[in-house]
Amino acid sequence: MNRLHPLSAVTYGLQYGFLWLSLAMVLTIVLGGIFDPIGSAWFIATAPLGFVLGVAYGVAYYYRFEYGITPDTFDVSSGVFARRSREIPYERIQNVDLRQGIFQRLFGLAIVSIETAGGGTTEASLNFVSETEANRLQGQIRQRTADVKERRRQRDQRARHDQRDQQAAAEERPDEGDTPSSDPEPTDSLDVPGADSDDESAAPQPGVPDPSPTAPSDEPGSTAPAPDSDPTATADRRERSPEPMGPRQRRLFDLEPRELLLYSFTSFRPAAVAGVLFVFFFATGPIIDLLVTIAQPFGGPADIGEGTSTSYGILTVVSAINGVVITYVLSVAYTFATYYGFQLGRAGSDFVYERGLIQRYSGSIPAEKVQSVTVTANPLQRLIGYAGLWVETAGYGPESNGGSQSAVPLANQGRIHRFTENLTGVETPKFTSPPTMARRRYLARYSIIATVVVAIFFGLAQLTAFESWYLSIVVFAAVPPAAHLKYVNLGYYVGEDHLVIRRGFWTRRTTVIPYYRIQTVNTRRSIFQRRLGLASLVVDTASSQTMVWTTPTIYDVDLEDARDVHTTGRKRLQSALRERARDDDLGIEVDFTDPNSSGGPAPQ
């Protein structure tokens, strides 16, 4: 195991010294304020003590931080009081970054960051090592990753050969263009990974193609922090091609003006609410005057200071309508400007999109990074028979954003369904509904919420002049329809190669998850669900964004069904992975808008 550069002991010492100094000061002052026996003035003594202890801690941290390269994994152990020892298999490493600030450059040092897929944080950060050591590490990791891949490739090939030999003894040689290394002896050739067409070529290991450990030329991090060595490996929004839809690219979908208008008018953006509120806070006076003026013809008060309760009521209603209308108009304009001229195309096996009226956005979505596909539709869109198609991708590192990207903002439902089926290869789902017990659960849940609402109004009536709190009992009328609507929109389908999950009334999302994209499966039962014999199944896929949409969940099905799907998902993940390894299949049909979806020339 190796230690960091000795200079990092100094920086850690100072860092923790000042941290603990301020911590000791704040703690002494706060505790001195609360408890009489402690004097706030003690900080004169505690702060230097904190500093000394902090320095000691920082130095101890340096001595307790170790990293090392083993045949299979990169290991890091750290921590003084709390210890952590981490083992990262080489094959899971996505990125090795070197970073140098001014200080590091001055002293010939570098910060090495090692990233794996998922999770927003850096998995191992060596802060810091000498430049030569950093380059050695990068080269070593690259080489060992290549070794592991090579071992695997040969093992697979051997397995394939054995299979073929058994299958057809008459055939002497496999017909594929196998490399000479098809003999069972493992060779130490390092040149193979570069021509690594066996695996998916958008290698998650950016450094692999260059086996030389002392060639930092094309490395992302020698000076710049951006891990942009391999643009195809990330689903980022960086501009990839300056010209709109270059010659290599093929158009897959254009958002027609009609669809753009429908999309603008039928979708609502919460950002519009934020925008309106923002403007209101900055120009409260003029806006209130304006609202009063607008409400006047309808019987509102002549001035905000003078008016009867009726005229105030009218003012409130008219202003509320104004607010809603303005927010809606803003939302329509925002959507229009954002999705104006939306185009989706393909370049190789990447989806490329661009959109925007005032500012043009473009980005690419590598097909092999697509984790799941979601069809969304809100009540309005469902009414007119339209829906949108989104793809979820996984990203890693600070520069690449995973998350949801719109592949087709809005199109006729029939087309969207055809797109989805072409894109993922899923069969038309026959949805299963949760048991009716689930609806009873929502009835109970919404009744509780309604009760809380009434209680709040009752409380308000006690505290303010507002008296007719009992009118709020009307909310109970919304409970049965709400429960029913939530229930009827739930559904799931266990397909041959995909799991399809539908949920949500306001935004109904139908997510198609290929089994081979499953990360973990969780069966969850709250105390309420246990009483009713229900369970929810959470099917997790890879993504670095957690806040956008909730994880696909099959809500409130019978425990037995949930366990069945749980087992099925796990089994099919394994078989699908085996199949994919054999067929080298991308799993995503890039030409999904093509009517025959078999890759013929696109009809323009």
Partner 1 sequence: MEALHSRIRLLWIAQAAIMAIIVGVVLAAVDQWITDVPTAIIAGVVVVGLVLGVAYSIRLYQVWQFEIQSDALYLERGVITFVETAVPFVRVQHVDTQFGPIERALGLSSVVVYTAGTRNADVRIPGLTPDRARELQDTLRELAVESEADDAV
Binding site for partner 1 (CB under 8 A): 30, 33-35, 72-73, 79, 81-89, 91-92, 116-119, 123, 148, 152, 199-200, 202-204, 233, 366, 368-369, 371, 394, 396, 516-527, 530, 538, 540-546, 551, 566, 570, 573-574, 577, 580-581, 587
Measured CA to CA in angstroms, residue 306 lies from 107, 300, 302, 303 at distances of 73, 10, 7, 6
Q: How many CB atoms lie within 10 A of CB 513?
A: 24
522 with 538: CB under 8 angstroms? yes
Q: Which one, of 195, 550, 553, 227, lies nearest residue 400 by Cα?
A: 227
Question: Would you say 186 or 299 has its CB closer to partner 1?
Answer: 186
Question: Would you say 85 or 308 has its CB closer to partner 1?
Answer: 85
Strand order in the sheet with 93-99: 93-99, 109-116, 124-130
Q: How far is the CB of 16 from partner 1 (least distance, A)?
A: 16
Q: How far is the CB of 601 from partner 1 (least distance, A)?
A: 28
Q: How many CB atoms lie within 10 A of CB 418?
A: 17
514 with 587: CB under 8 angstroms? yes
Question: Would you say 497 or 540 has its CB closer to partner 1?
Answer: 540
Question: Would you say 248 or 530 has its CB closer to partner 1?
Answer: 530
Question: Would you say 386 or 396 has its CB closer to partner 1?
Answer: 396
Q: How far is the CB of 183 from partner 1 (least distance, A)?
A: 22
At residue 228's C-alpha, the angle toward residues 223 and 234, to 5°, is 155
Structure tokens at 59: 């130095």
344 with 407: CB under 8 angstroms? yes
Q: How far is the CB of 413 from partner 1 (least distance, A)?
A: 28
Question: Would you say 238 or 525 has its CB closer to partner 1?
Answer: 525
Q: How far is the CB of 529 from partner 1 (least distance, A)?
A: 8
Q: How far is the CB of 542 from partner 1 (least distance, A)?
A: 4
441 with 526: CB under 8 angstroms? no
Question: Would you say 120 or 385 has its CB closer to partner 1?
Answer: 120
Question: Would you say 74 or 592 has its CB closer to partner 1?
Answer: 74
- Please give, one letter per residue, the 3-state secondary structure of 336-365: HHHHCCCEEEEECCEEEEEECCCCCEEEEE
Q: How far is the CB of 578 from partner 1 (least distance, A)?
A: 9
Q: How many CB atoms lie within 10 A of CB 439?
A: 19
At residue 151's C-alpha, the angle toward residues 195 and 119, to 5°, is 80
Q: How far is the CB of 48 from partner 1 (least distance, A)?
A: 24
